[in-house]
Amino acid sequence: MELDKNAVKNAQLWLNSSVSEDIKNEIRRLQAEDVNEFNDAFYKKLSFGTGGLRGIMGVGTNRMNSVVVSQSTQGFANYILQENKDKKEIKVAVSFDSRNNSKEFAQIVAKVFAANGIKVYLFEEIHPTPLLSFAVRELGCDAGVMLTASHNPKEYNGYKAYWNDGGQLVPPHDVNVIDQVNKITDISQVKIQQGMENITLLDGSFDEIYYKKTESISLATANLDTFKNIRIAYTPLHGTGYKMIPEALRRWGFKNIICEPEQSKPDGNFPTCLSPNPEERVALERVLKLAEENACDIALASDPDADREALCVRNQKGEMVLLNGNQTATLLTYYILLRNKELLRLRGKEFVIKTIVTSELIKVIADSFGVKCYDVLTGFKWIADKVLELEGKEKYIGGGEESYGYMPSDIVRDKDAVATCCLLAEMAAWAKQQGRTLYEILLEIYQQYGYYQESLLSIVRKGKTGAEEIEKMMSDFRLNPPKEILGQKVVMIKDYQRQLSADLVKNTTEKITLPESNVLQFYLKDGSKISVRPSGTEPKIKFYFGVRSEYSIGDNFEQLQEKSIEKIEKIKQELNLQ
């Protein structure tokens, strides 16, 4: 393989700069010994996207490392200063997860901000992402940074950027920050201090504020306390939830919490699981075994930065099954709406939120309670943005997306596994109080509203050629959309990049009012929905499938489920995705 011209050019800029000799020596070694790795590491700059940075750790402009982190922070600092030039004191919060280098990167971020005259609140130890969002609001900060790559493999790290509402960056701030970051082309442009001046460390006492405020989310009545003796198995998957989630559960009254011992040790190498992703059952093998050995009612898991959670429940055969993100969000939505109704709290101004690729069942449930359900683009920054837009006018009571994330209140403006795990445990106790399981509650929901089966297919395409292939796939779907799938006509196409919704039956178009995004959706005559979008944080293109069926008392649920899954597999085959 030949050396890429852009890679050579970008590498030379670093070799001519003031980066350390260790970094320069590694650049020379890669160029001489591993051309493939050299090209991928330097052929472009790691994009500071609309949510921040995420990439493989290592030397290179296309990697997560101290140089990229410090330059990005200088650009972010410049924008924060520009937007708050009339303020006497500008403040930011910084936190980090259990990944390798997260703490070192967080200290670099803090020292760059502080060197720019910005007061920094830096978490002393690893903390969940929701605590960073909470800190931004609670401490009156102007921005925040969380060092994490969420559920990605151990080779990755990332940088999530937040604004003063506690949500991740949205327009115009996202593109404006990107512009400022792109102006930082050399390490010499970065201000960084050596000491800890202007940096305040946040210790465990700050957690107390979060615990107290989170307890207000509870929808339990006093007589539920008897049922809080349910047995809960939990794993943090070597991440930041190891301390706060068990403690939060205890404060909500749950005492029988059994933590997976090995995975309760924070470790950026994630030694006991191939991938620290709670969406994948293989990552939960240990906690499921723990749940069986201890006859637990439910099992819970959180990802490394503890913003997403997984729920496992017992099915009709008594087996532990992992619910998907849509099912968990469906149960939470139903519970929150039902309990608010029983507590006479639904007064006509409440609303829930889901993303456009999340199950339509959530909207159907909300409609049945007379509660508004808003659709937003994929990503919790859009949920937070909608909450901010409606603040003081309407009341947010819950929202989530299919990727195992939920935001149970507006105390935190991002997905929050700490509070959500508490609400899931409460929901399980509530079901047990009625002599039922959460699985039985879910089946009752399906009987009332219809059975919705969803599935996600992620196709990974790494590196430069992978990015080009993903771009071509989106272009092909946009230029030559399917007219029919499985004998069902495509009746509507929504193109969020062109911001047009085309009704192919009426032959009419409508403008989509959501922001522009590279997403396509195809709706079939029978109500099935296929969504396609490139991931904003990983080298993937994602396909979301949703099919609906009627489900009545007496029907064989397993057979219905198998038929629905089979239908989704046939859709994949027809779209040549196998």
Q: 193 and 143 share a domain? A: yes
In contact, 156 and 57? CB cutoff 8 Å: yes
Q: 192 and 248 share a domain? A: no
Quick one: residue 160, left, alpha or beta (phi over 0 = left, psi -120 to 50 = alpha)? beta
Domain boundary among 202, 227, 257: 202
Any idea what the CATH number is for the domain that residue 281 is in? 3.40.120.10
Q: 340 and 394 share a domain? A: yes
- Whether cis (ω within 30° of 0) applies to the bond prior to 172 is yes
**Residue 227's pLDDT is what?**
95
Domain assignment of residue 324, yes or no:
yes
What would the two tokens of residue 496 be?
């969020």
Distance CA 133, CA 411 (A): 9
Domain assignment of residue 22, yes or no:
no
User: For 417-424, what is the mean pLDDT?
Assistant: 98
Three-state DSSP state, 135 = helix
Domain assignment of residue 32, yes or no:
no
Count of beta carbons in the 10 Å neighbourhood of residue 435: 7
Domain assignment of residue 8, yes or no:
no
Count of beta carbons in the 10 Å neighbourhood of residue 287: 26
pLDDT by residue (tens digit) across 431-449?
A: 999 999 999 999 999 999 9
- Tokens 């489900």 sit on residue: 551
Count of beta carbons in the 10 Å neighbourhood of residue 304: 32
Which uninterrupted H or E stretch holds 121? strand 119-123
| Helices marked H in 144-284 | 173-182, 204-214, 241-251
**Residue 23's pLDDT is what?**
95
Sequence-separated (6 or more) residues with CB below 8 Å from residue 275: 151, 153, 282, 283
Q: Tell which residue, 42, 154, 3, has the closest CA to residue 463.
A: 42
- Average pLDDT value for the chain: 95
Q: Does 50 have pLDDT greater than 80? A: no
Any idea what the CATH number is for the domain that residue 516 is in? 3.30.310
What pLDDT band is residue 578 in, cutting at 50, 70 and 90?
low
Q: Tell which residue, 308, 77, 49, has the closest CA to residue 168.
A: 49
Q: Does 212 have pLDDT greater than 90? A: yes
Question: Could you say which of 66, 70, 150, 531 is catalytic?
Answer: 150
Domain boundary among 449, 476, 505: 449
**Residue 52's pLDDT is what?**
86
In contact, 365 and 333? CB cutoff 8 Å: yes
Least confident of 159-163, 273-277, 321-325, 358-362: 273-277
SS3 of 43-99: the string is: CCCCCCECCEEEEEECCCCCCECHHHHHHHHHHHHHHHHHHCCCCCCCEEEEEECCC
- Tokens 């603040």 sit on residue: 391
Which uninterrupted H or E stretch holds 160? strand 156-163
Q: 220 and 303 share a domain? A: yes
Distance CA 30, CA 25 (A): 9
pLDDT by residue (tens digit) across 277-308?
A: 999 999 999 999 999 999 999 999 999 999 99
Q: 432 and 348 share a domain? A: yes
Q: 416 and 302 share a domain? A: yes
**Residue 539's pLDDT is what?**
83
Strands 500-503, 508-511: pairing kind: antiparallel
Q: Does 51 have pLDDT greater than 80? A: no
Domain boundary among 449, 472, 492: 449
150 is a catalytic site residue: yes
Domain assignment of residue 217, yes or no:
yes
Give the pTM: 0.94
Q: Which domain holds residue 332?
A: 211-449
Q: 341 and 476 share a domain? A: no
Task: State the burial class of residue 346 (Cβ atoms within 10 Å of its Cβ: 0-12, 13-18, 19+).
Answer: middle
Facing residues of 453 across strands?
547
Count of beta carbons in the 10 Å neighbourhood of residue 32: 9
Q: Does 500 have pLDDT greater than 70? A: yes
Domain assignment of residue 54, yes or no:
yes
User: For 518-539, what is the mean pLDDT?
Assistant: 89
SS3 of 310-336: the string is: EEEEECCCCCEEECCHHHHHHHHHHHH
Q: Does 236 have pLDDT greater than 90? A: yes
* DSSP characters over 336-386: HHHHHHHTT---S-EEEEEETTS-THHHHHHHHTT-EEEEE-SSHHHHHHH
Which uninterrupted H or E stretch holds 163? strand 156-163
User: For 134-163, what is the mean pLDDT?
Assistant: 96
What pLDDT band is residue 464 in, cutting at 50, 70 and 90?
confident
Q: 109 and 231 share a domain? A: no
Q: Tell which residue, 253, 173, 241, 179, has the closest CA to residue 428.
A: 253
Residue 157, CA distances (Å) to 8, 38, 47, 68, 249 in order: 24, 19, 13, 12, 29
Q: Does 70 have pLDDT greater than 70? A: yes
Q: 247 and 357 share a domain? A: yes
Q: 268 and 412 share a domain? A: yes
Total domain count for the chain? Answer: 3
pLDDT by residue (tens digit) across 309-337?
A: 999 999 999 999 999 999 999 999 999 99
Distance CA 219, CA 202 (A): 30
pLDDT by residue (tens digit) across 363-410?
A: 999 999 999 999 999 999 999 999 999 999 999 999 999 999 999 999
In contact, 572 and 578? CB cutoff 8 Å: yes
Mutual orientation of helices 21-33 and 5-15 as an angle, nearest 10°?
160
Domain assignment of residue 191, yes or no:
yes
E runs forming strands in 434-565: 451-460, 484-485, 488-495, 500-503, 508-511, 520-524, 529-534, 540-549
Domain assignment of residue 37, yes or no:
no
What would the two tokens of residue 429 be?
């106790």
